[in-house]
């Protein structure tokens, strides 16, 4: 099976080194799309992402300020 990224790359490990999550902290979510294609320039695709985030928030797995 072909993957879009390499989890074992040293760059990913270096980014995680010394990091941890704490309850009740604010975290900024950023994304990089496959081949950096501007998927979110399409309003329909952007709406799908927002609807899914709202569903996950309704399940209590996410709290969004936006």
Q: Among 64, 37, 42, which Cα is nearest to 53's?
A: 64
4-53 per-position pLDDT tens digit: 445 455 566 776 777 777 888 888 878 788 888 888 889 998 899 889 98
Q: Is residue 65 part of a domain?
A: yes
Domain count, the chain: 1
**DSSP for the chain?**
---SS-TT-HHHHHHHTT----TT---------GGG--GGGSHHHHHHHHHHHHHHHHTTS-----
> Is residue 45 in a domain?
yes
pTM for the model? 0.51
Host domain of residue 52 = 30-66
């Amino acid at each position: 099976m072909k993957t879009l990224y390499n989890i074992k790359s040293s760059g990913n490990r270096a980014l995680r080194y010394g990091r941890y999550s704490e309850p009740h902290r604010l975290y900024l979510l950023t994304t990089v799309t496959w081949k950096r294609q501007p998927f979110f320039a399409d309003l329909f695709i952007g709406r799908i992402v927002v609807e899914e985030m709202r569903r996950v928030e309704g399940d209590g797995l996410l709290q969004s300020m936006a």
